[in-house]
Amino acid sequence: MGCGAGNFAAKGRDQVIGTGVCCERCPGATVAVTSTIARRRLYKAAVFSPPPPSAGRGWVAHGGSATPAHLYRVVTGQIVDVSPQVLVLGDASGERRFVLTPDATAWRGGPLTPSALRPGDDVVLRLRPGSPGIADRAWANIGRVSGTILRQDDDALVVSAGATWAKAATSPQRVVVIPPHASGRIQVRFPNLRPGYLIDVIGVQRGGVLQGLIPATSQPPYRSDRVPVPQSASGRLPESITGAAIWHDSADEPHGVLGVRYPALDPSNGCAEDRAAGFPPGHAPAYRDLPYLAVGSSLLVANECTGASWTFPITGCAPVARLFNDRCLTCGTSPRGRVADLTLASFVALGGELETGCFNTTLTIGR
Amino acid sequence: MTPPPSLLTDFGDVQVPLLAAMLLGGCASKALRVVRGQSISAVLGPTVLFPVRLRQSVAVGLCIAELAFGVGLIATAGRSLGGASAELIRFGTGLLFVVATCALIELRSVRPDIGCGCFGEFSSAPITGGIVARSAGLAFAALAIVKLPPMQLPGTVNRAALVLLLLAAELAALAALSPELREVLVRIGYSEPCEYRVLGPELAVAAIQRSAQWRKHASLVVDGQPTDTWRELCWRYVVFPSRHRGRSADLVFAVYLRNRRPAVLAVLVDSATGAVLPWPSDAAAKGRRRARGPRARIASPARTHRGRRARPTPPRTYQPEGLSHFLARSRVLARVRHRGA
């Protein structure tokens, strides 16, 4: 069965086995998830407010497919040429020129001026709201590795970016090298660099290796296979959910995709990692005080630090984010841990600084 | 010679059991984690101020100190073990709370994201000023009663009432400063809303197949296997492949995840264009023949299984459900299992 549709089997009349909508581990998941999101939104709208039959509606995903004028936009590509005023990005489709504002800043392992960027750098360029050709921020070769340490080979850490670290063959692996000058900074926040413990670092991508420079959070004291049992929820569902929003660096997703991964997908057809790890539905480590949603549900994500907000579709589960029980300290202390795992473009669009790793957020469901 | 009772001695008499209760409660909540097989140091709190290799030892030492001072306060409260030993225990208790207050202030500035761990997993909320004030107040209370004479029962009703009043006032102050109280209340009044429940798709499919919507439109389903199912808050959606005038269509059901009379809505959607399709007249006619009277009329794509116009709870409206729904759900599960067997 393919991804996103046709993956539900019924046995007999009453026994139904839901194998679910596949998450980010399926080949070509992006196309499948996009189709799933569009269809589910349309079905939901049709059920609750059926339009006149003559109206006719197409398979168009609303919200999250375009960036509004008041939000930042993101362009990614490889630098072809750079000067203090102009930055030229190139890809297979050609070259694009962007004007840099006088106060534009850049980052490549640390803050620098945009003119210090080099041709060949892979850059994430933030465009000013409403000004598609003017950039005010650039991150060069930035990457992030968040997951469970599988093993330590000399000075390199092999990290699993899924919940199934014990069955590493089923989860993608990332390699992190911590240079000597960043070792102290990293180890203050991540004292246990032994297999089984969690790590979350931001740094510079060189080839297939991430040079870890900045700890994105503090290391939980527990191993990733011994996540404390979360508290159960009770009472009424709050109107909004507060917590921390982070970004992820996924090779499976093209840059520029707007979406959010959510830690509490419906267990019966949610997270591919849970099934691969052998968790029965509802027994995987996850927030029990977050309501269950699905791929395609809409989340209004607000950045409490900047005030920007936008509705994003849920594109998958957040298998690693839910293992952390940390707090974001970007602008005050978030009242709880990671409730939204944004794509890089979504994070920047809401005004997040990639090198800080997180911002305090408020989620509202179903707008 | 025992001094005559005064307001100060009454105040002191209240402090001893309160301090002992706080210490023993803190120790018990930490020990509870060990009983449950969890790490005692995972509660964090001030132990994170120490190197990793020392955290376990510090956590155990703190728990032992709380136990020793808690028991010591009770044991030395009377006349038999009073005197110097009582003063030593009370001074030690005060010192413990002074150190704890300083540690909490330091922890709040260094790691504002973690809880104090004072009462184990109940103290996971970030440290607030109230927690620091509570610790400082307890330190003051312990040091204020170092020279207190041995406790004695109230001799008069008025004095007993005064002691009870002081105790109630102090308990209220502690409750106001303690975020742990909220956690305890949440656990006592535990009830799981449907948004948080793990409910598999089989329950939804069973509800659909019992509904009038299914009886009306089952003839449109060309394959009994749903092509998609997902759940959003309290609603589960199930999509069956269908045909409409020779074209491919999708029959979409939405079920509210409730045990008694769940609302079931249905709509027919064109697979290619996504347009909402009118119900075929023959299917509507069949539905009218099967159901009687106006309850089975089909005038709108979205109707409940009871035939009345659907008034579903909107997806943004949340209805917590109580014990009766749990019991009802158990009965539904039993019926489903029985039928499946």
Which CATH number is A124's domain given?
2.40.50.320
Whether B2 maps to a domain, the answer reads: no
Question: H or E element: which one contains A299?
Answer: strand A298-303
Q: Of B188, B216, B245, which marks where a domain is finished?
A: B188
Residue A177 CB-half CA count within 13 A: 12
Residue A366: partners with Cβ closer than 8 Å, 6 or more residues away: A297, A298, B232, B233, B315, B316
Last residue of a domain, one of A86, A109, A140: A140
In a mutagenesis test of the B interface, which of A47, A62, A192, A226 is the best target, namely the one with the most B β-carbons within 10 Å?
A47
A220 inside domain: no
Interchain contact, A221 vs B41, CB within 8 Å: yes
Average of per-residue pLDDT across A11-33: 36
A128 with A161, same domain: the answer is no
Last residue in a domain, options B148, B164, B188: B188
Q: By C-alpha distance, which of A252, A249, A208, A248 is closest to A27?
A: A252
Are A109 and A159 contained in the same domain?
no
Could you list the residue range(s) of the whole structural domain that residue A117 is in? 73-140
Residues A123 and A202 reside in one and the same domain: no
Collect all residues of chain B within an 8 Å Cβ-Cβ radius of residue A190: none
User: How many distinct structural domains can be found in chain A?
Assistant: 3
Q: Are residues B133 and B18 in the same domain?
A: yes
Residue A323 lies in a domain: yes
Residues A130 and A197 in one domain: no
- Amino acid letter for position B267: V
Q: What total of structural domains would you count in chain B?
A: 2
Quick one: B166 and B207 in the same domain? Answer: no
Q: Are residues B160 and B223 in the same domain?
A: no
Q: Please list every residue in chain B whose beta carbon sits closer than 8 Å to the beta carbon of residue A293.
A: 231-233
Tokens, residue B210 = 């019992």
Across the A:B interface, residue pairs with CB atoms under 8 Å apart total 200
**Which CATH number fits the domain that encloses residue A41?**
2.40.40.10
Task: Give the number of residues written for chain B.
Answer: 341
Q: Are the C-beta atoms of A75 and A131 separated by less than 8 Å?
A: no
B154 within a domain of the structure (yes/no): yes
Q: Which of B188, B220, B238 is the last residue of a domain?
A: B188
User: Which of A215, A247, A262 marks a domain boundary?
Assistant: A215
Say if the Cβ atoms of B320 and A235 lie within 8 Å. yes
Within-domain flag for B1: no
**Out of A109-113, B86-90, B132-136, B198-202, least confident range:** B198-202
Is A366 at the interface with chain B, CB within 8 A? yes
- Residues A255 and A340 placed together within one structural domain of the fold: yes
Residue pair A228/A326 in contact (Cβ under 8 Å)? The answer is no
ipTM: 0.75
Tally of CB atoms within 10 A around B340 = 13
Of A204, A366, A230, give the one whose Cα is nearest residue A298. A366
* Binary contact (A221, B113; C-beta < 8 A): no
Q: Per-residue pLDDT averaged across A122-146, rounded?
A: 89
Please compute the mean of the pLDDT values over residues B192-196 and round it to a whole number. Answer: 72
Question: Is A68 among the domain residues?
Answer: no
In the DSSP assignment, the letter for residue B340 is H
Q: How far apart are CA A191 and CA B193, in angstroms?
A: 39
User: What sign for the dihedral angle of Cα A239, A245, A251, A256?
Assistant: positive
A111 domain residue, yes or no: yes
Q: Give the 3-state secondary structure of residue B329.
A: helix
- Side-chain-side CA neighbours of B113 within 13 Å: the count stands at 21
The more confidently predicted of residues A237 and B31 is B31
- Highest mean predicted confidence (pLDDT) among A338-342, B106-110, B119-123, B295-299: A338-342
pLDDT in tens, A28-70: 345 566 777 778 888 888 887 654 443 333 333 333 444 566 7
Nearest chain B residue to A16, by CA: B202
Q: B-contacting residues of A 129-168, CB under 8 Å? A: none
Q: Determine the length of chain A.
A: 367
Which chain B residues touch A327 with a CB distance below 8 Å? 112-114, 126
Residue with tokens 């004072």: B118
Last residue of a domain, one of A117, A140, A163: A140
pLDDT digits (tens, 9 = 90+) for B235-245: 889 999 988 88
Distance CA B112, CA A310 (A): 28
Instruction: Name residues 246-305 of chain A within 8 A of B (Cβ).
Output: 266-269, 281-282, 288-297
| B83/B46 same-domain check | yes
**Same domain membership, residue B134 and residue B23:** yes
